[in-house]
Amino acid sequence: MTDTTARVRELHLYRKYFELVAAGTKTIEVRVKYPHLEGLAAGDTIRFRIKGTEETCDVRVLRVAEYESFEALLDGEGPAKVNPSAIRDEQLANIRAIYPPEKEALGALAIEMERLD
Q: Mind listing the pLDDT tens digit for each residue in 38-81? A: 999 999 999 999 989 999 999 999 999 999 999 999 999 999 99
User: What range does the domain containing 47 cover?
Assistant: 8-115
Q: How confident is the model at residue 2 (pLDDT cuts 50, 70, 90)?
A: low
| Cα–Cα distance, 7 to 58 (Å, whole number) | 12
Is 55 inside any structural domain? yes
| Cα–Cα distance, 63 to 90 (Å, whole number) | 25
Is 1 inside any structural domain? no
CATH number of the domain encompassing residue 75: 2.30.130.30
Is 3 inside any structural domain? no
**Percent with pLDDT over 90 in the chain:** 91
| Cα–Cα distance, 9 to 111 (Å, whole number) | 13
What is the sign, positive or negative, of the torsion defined by CA atoms of 40, 48, 8, 24? Answer: negative
Is 109 inside any structural domain? yes
Q: How many domains does the chain have?
A: 1
Is 24 inside any structural domain? yes
